[in-house]
Amino acid sequence: MSDKTYDSPASSLDGLLFDRMTIMSGGFGLSGNPESLIPEIRNSGVKNLTVISNNAGADGFGLWMLLESRQIARMVASYVGDNKLFEQQYLSGELELELNPQGTLAERIRAGGAGIPAFYTKTGVGTVVAEGKPTEIFEGEEYVRETWLRADLAIVKAWRADPAGNLMFRKTARNFNPNMATAARITVAEVEEIVAPGTFDPDCIHTPGIFVDRVVVSTINEKRIEKLTVRETETAA
């Protein structure tokens, strides 16, 4: 078994980054973002990137960093989210944007990983989403053709990994991350914990290591979406 672990987020990206590349970045809103790898992409200085992601982080967080440094030229996403910079760059014409219905974006990524160049869906028929795209009639209903999405690099965030790259995700982080791991030429996974070989029950593995090329322990695990609400214990009078 080959050991796919790396010592640091920076070393896990060594030799993988170049100008005008396409990167898939996992995450669903504030959950499951590759928080340790994104700053290293910023530090590398690569530019004119196409980034495929559910959204672009939030003000001061996640992919916002690459927008702030003007390294992203084009976004393929499903919503803007709480990100004023994203809005400003798009409205000013600085950022090229392809918006997709969220389910369509997920299916286009899944198709890329499964080797399916195109598929048909009713989502977006009769709207701007379908403009310029072929349509077909199936059983009397109109469907629009969507194409796969693939990338040079996928960066994903998982909960646990073993040295072979087998991944387990937690809860909402399973949105987009597992599919992206299958749809890129190279996949780098940052994880909260690397466990010993043989720890995982094979039935509990979400992404097999065959799809993962490099694994590194996260140095940032902020988890902004998780909030703790507490109150003082009430005592009987």
What is the homologous superfamily of the domain 5-217 according to CATH?
Glutaconate Coenzyme A-transferase (3.40.1080.10)
Q: Rounded CA gap, 140 and 32, in Å?
A: 40
Q: How far apart are the first and last CA of the chain?
A: 64
pLDDT of the residue at 171: 87
Q: Please state, in angstroms and rounded to a whole number, the distance separating the CA atoms of residues 197 and 91.
A: 49
pLDDT given for residue 90 in this prediction? 92
Q: Are β-strands 5-6 and 214-217 bridged in parallel, bridged antiparallel, or unpaired?
A: parallel
Residue 59's pLDDT is 81
Query: What integer pLDDT is reported at residue 65 of this predicted model?
Result: 93
Q: How far is it, in rounded angstroms, from Cα 211 to Cα 214?
A: 10
**pLDDT at residue 1 in the model:** 67
List the chain pLDDT tens, one digit each, 237 residues: 689 999 999 999 999 999 999 999 998 877 889 999 999 999 999 999 999 999 888 888 889 999 999 999 999 999 877 788 999 999 999 999 999 999 999 999 999 999 999 999 999 999 999 999 999 999 999 999 999 999 999 999 999 999 999 999 998 888 899 999 999 999 999 999 999 999 999 999 999 999 999 999 998 777 777 777 888 887 776
- Residue 237 has a pLDDT of 63
Is residue 135 within 8 A of residue 144, CB to CB? The reply is: yes
